[in-house]
Structure 1
Amino acid sequence: MAATINDDTQSIVVGNGSDRVAINLKQGPVDQSQSFLLTSILIEMGDIEIRIRRSAQGTDQYKKREASLPTSVRSAPITYQNGNQEKKNTAEEKPNAHQTHWDYSISHGPHMWGRIFPQIQCKKFQSPIRIYTDQCEYEPELTRRPFVFHADENCCQTLENTGHSFQVSGKGSSSISGGPVPDEYRFLQFHMHWGSNDLEGAEHVVDGVRLPGELHIVTWNTSRYRTPQAAAASEQFDGLMVFGILIKIAPSDNQEVDKLLNLFSKIIHKGEKVDLDDETVSLKKLMPKNMQDYYTYDGSLTTPMCSESVRWIVFREQMGLSRRQFDQLRQLKHACKGENSTTNGNISQNFRPVMPLNGRLVYRSFC
């Protein structure tokens, strides 16, 4: 058994690898420093995930009480996940048939996307996935086609709060070639996924380990498509190439990412945007030093409409962010300024659960 304490949050983990139970507790009010509120339980058994989470409304009610714990807290819906087969308790409200809003909440989150957008239900080759190195097929041809990456200093031009994450976009000159595809790609945007604690956040799970974050650098195929929109909607696994960089907890700040975090005060709310100077962030410095060791497979976008137009590159080398920097990510708001929200409004977690392989092969470029 291991316990990780981060400020007022305590996480207790039993087991390891693909079989573990993570119990997350939140410290009580100041005058009840010895009390803890159960916020969520995550059970992982191989390819099966069971997540139990307290509703945000119940958590907020608890925080407002300084004298004692609330006498009653609404039970959180329970979602059972086994591949793409999911069940929820009958108390959960059904979404409006014309609802197009999506997020990562209980009512509009990943387990509801198929009902909000019915066309997602028929898709079979979805992302993210679990990757096991010893089950991946080694492809020596990948080592003979190293990635060649070029990007101008003005490649990253805007920083925006999309309501689901932060996003850095640009139209500067860039190109990337090599790897598993013969075409040339151009940088489109990058964003990040994270969780509410150190035990979750990454979308891809490698060798049974889920890290607390994942950076996605999205590029589009300029050899075959005229626009990024056409590439993203292609459903041909070649429209986009997305580079996934898994993020671990580091003892010190990531200086390159810190340049962006220093601007977060200007994009706290959804829709807020700020222009970036040429020297603000370097796309090259975000890429791992070793770009030649990676996993690759055919998959999809991990947000609606989950188009199956992506060739995924998940790098073996990881990036590090400090706990302070992860806390800064969680301060972004998912709502527009002045918009009423029943929750605290923070983007505390924004990752999609793993999806079934359905017969797909995952390749690796290293022995």
Structure 2
Amino acid sequence: WNYNRSSLGGPDKWSVEYPDCGGVMQSPISISTEDALYDPKLSYFNLTNYNMTSGVNMTLVNKGGHTAEVLYSGSDVLLSGGNLPDTYKLVQFHFHWGGKDSNGSEHLIDGKYFPMEVSFEPNKDNSTEIKTFPLLDLLPGNTDRLDFYRYDGSLTTPPCYESVIWSLATEYIQISEYQLNIFRNLYNEEHQHLVDDFRPVQELHKRTVTTTKSKPTQAPLTTGNSNNSATWIQGYLVNVCICLMTVLYKFV
């Protein structure tokens, strides 16, 4: 399988070999901030050790030419709360980006793409050890009260299992043009630039998107540079999401 829309192995053909990719609870989706329903019972996340830099290792992996993935090991980075059924341990996060600034993210907000999306997954070689940094730098705003959208969906790559709880932050982080171009200069297995590694949005069908925000608001969207500051990356807006496989990757 691949992300080439015109290829026989492209996203529109995934369901031929992977039937779940043709299901009715597929991801990603386009989230309407106006239609997202406020859920007063939806609690905030509890983040443990997301500020750790010592005693941890980060390894950058070219994941089969499909994405850039960072493997995390060392101190346990735990996620709980958010009405999740258990406590989850982070072992990797990865990125989706476009070849141009007008797209790159998998999820859309009010029909608009972002140049990049970062996805945290409790998911348990072409690798390079990289300098560690606090994972809080990849999370927007006040992490004690991290507002998010919630819906039930799937993996965004084959086999597209429909057992994922998606949580998308309502705010965004930023990345500079220089840093974004570093991703765009990675290569896939065919020695072509690794760009546009995102699946087209899928139908919402009868699913409901809920949110922790009583009055959902959206930060200004832009495809150009921003003068706003951020702790680690700044410039272009980046969508942030947490993807939890509730069956395969539960941490006990």
- Contact kept in structure 1, 2:46 and 2:81, CA below 8 Å: yes
Q: 2:13 aligns with which of 112, 117, 121?
A: 112
Q: How does 1:242-253 map to 2 (within 5 A)?
A: none
Q: How does 1:21-32 map to 2 (within 5 A)?
A: none
- Contact kept in structure 2, 1:126 and 1:301, CA below 8 Å: yes
In structure 2, the partner of 1:245 is none
Q: How big is the shift at 1:123? A: 2.1
- Contact kept in structure 2, 1:155 and 1:174, CA below 8 Å: no
Amino acid of the structure 1 residue aligned with 2:164: V
SS at match of 2:182: helix
In structure 1, the partner of 2:48 is 150
Q: Counterparts of 1:123 and 1:149 in 2: how far apart (Å)?
A: 32
SS at match of 2:90: strand
2:205 paired with 1:205: no
Amino acid of the structure 1 residue aligned with 2:193: N
Structure having the higher helix fraction is 1
Q: How big is the shift at 1:122? A: 4.6
Q: How big is the shift at 1:160? A: 0.8
Which one has more relative contact order, counting CA pairs under 8 Å at least 6 apart?
Answer: 2
Q: How big is the shift at 1:364? A: 0.7
Q: 1:126 aligns with which of 1, 26, 44?
A: 26
Q: Counterparts of 2:56 and 2:148 in 1: how far apart (Å)?
A: 24
Q: Counterparts of 2:89 and 2:148 in 1: how far apart (Å)?
A: 19
SS at match of 2:122: strand
In structure 2, the partner of 1:170 is 72
Percent identity over the alignment?
37
Deviation per CA, 1:178-209, whole angstroms, max 9, x where unpaired? 11214111102111001110111111111121
Gaps of 5+ in 1: 1-101, 221-227, 229-270, 336-340
Amino acid of the structure 2 residue aligned with 1:103: N
Q: How big is the shift at 1:272? A: 2.1
SS at match of 2:14: helix
Query: Aligned pair in 2 of structure 1 residues 319, 121: CA closer, same or farther (>3 Å)?
Result: closer
Q: How does 1:226-241 map to 2 (within 5 A)?
A: 228=124
Q: Count matched residues.
A: 205
Q: CA RMSD in A?
A: 1.8
Q: How big is the shift at 1:156? A: 4.4
- Contact kept in structure 2, 1:158 and 1:273, CA below 8 Å: yes
Q: Counterparts of 2:56 and 2:41 in 1: how far apart (Å)?
A: 30
- Contact kept in structure 2, 1:156 and 1:168, CA below 8 Å: no
In structure 2, the partner of 1:349 is 196
In structure 2, the partner of 1:224 is none
Amino acid of the structure 2 residue aligned with 1:135: D
Q: How big is the shift at 1:155? A: 4.3
Q: Counterparts of 1:329 and 1:112 in 2: how far apart (Å)?
A: 26
- Contact kept in structure 1, 2:14 and 2:158, CA below 8 Å: yes
